[in-house]
Amino acid sequence: MSKTKIIPCSGIGKVHGSIAREAAFEIIRRENEKCETMCLAHIVTGDVDIKEKIENEKCITIDGCPALCAAKNVELAGGIVEQSIRVIDEMKKHRGAKPGTATYLTEDGWKMVDNIASNICENLRASSLEVD
Ligand code: SF4
């Protein structure tokens, strides 16, 4: 069975993108057998090799903001977006929290990374139970 693709947006310059990226790394660390990540910028180029790798494959996208760059481009490339997460929604749950900056996450920021990663890992486990 092929691994689920965990694809964060390429947000740079704001903490949203950093949280998305760190959450993707955390998911890969926790569920290495079930998932892998890919470079969104490479997908956006329309490269044939990467398109073949995600076409009709299960993908989970993590976007920083409502622009949904990862979810939209994965869909355009033919990937099946099973779950689309927005970091901004996690931030709304913790009004007043200070997650950090584009280059540095605070304890609040790492907590958000953990929440997003835990949510996605739970779904990965639930969907593999359905398959079993
Ligand atoms: S989803 Fe938002 S934060 Fe992420 S790359 Fe797009 S514009 Fe930037």
pLDDT digits 0-9 by tens, 28-38: 999 999 999 99
| Position in ligand 1 atom list of the atom nearest CA 20 | 4
Residue identifier of the C-alpha nearest atom 6 of ligand 1: 69
Residue identifier of the C-alpha nearest atom 2 of ligand 1: 65
Residue identifier of the C-alpha nearest atom 5 of ligand 1: 11
CA of 17 to the centre of ligand 1 (A): 7
Q: Predicted confidence band at 131 (pLDDT cuts at 50, 70, 90)?
A: low
CA of 108 to the centre of ligand 1 (A): 20
Task: Name the residue among 16, 121, 129 with its Cα closest to residue 70.
Answer: 16
pLDDT value, residue 132: 55
CA of 12 to the centre of ligand 1 (A): 8
CA of 130 to the centre of ligand 1 (A): 32
* 92 CB neighbour count, 10 Å cutoff: 9
DSSP designation for 4: E
Q: Across the chain, what does the average pLDDT equal? A: 95
Tokens of 61: 């996208």
Answer yes or no: is 132 within a domain: no
Type of residue numbered 31: E
Q: Please tell me the total count of domains within the chain.
A: 1
pLDDT in tens, 80-118: 999 999 999 999 999 999 999 999 999 999 999 999 999
Answer yes or no: is 13 within a domain: yes
- CATH assignment of the domain containing 67: 3.40.50
Q: 50 by DSSP, 3-state: which?
A: helix
Task: Name the residue range of residue 27's domain.
Answer: 4-127
* Consecutive H or E run containing 61: strand 58-63
Q: Is pLDDT at 74 greater than 90 in this prediction? A: yes
Q: Which residues on adjacent β-strands are paired with residue 6?
A: 37, 60
Which has more confidence, 132 or 97?
97
Residue identifier of the C-alpha nearest atom 7 of ligand 1: 67
Q: What is the mean pLDDT of residues 11-23?
A: 96
Place of tokens 């760190």: 22
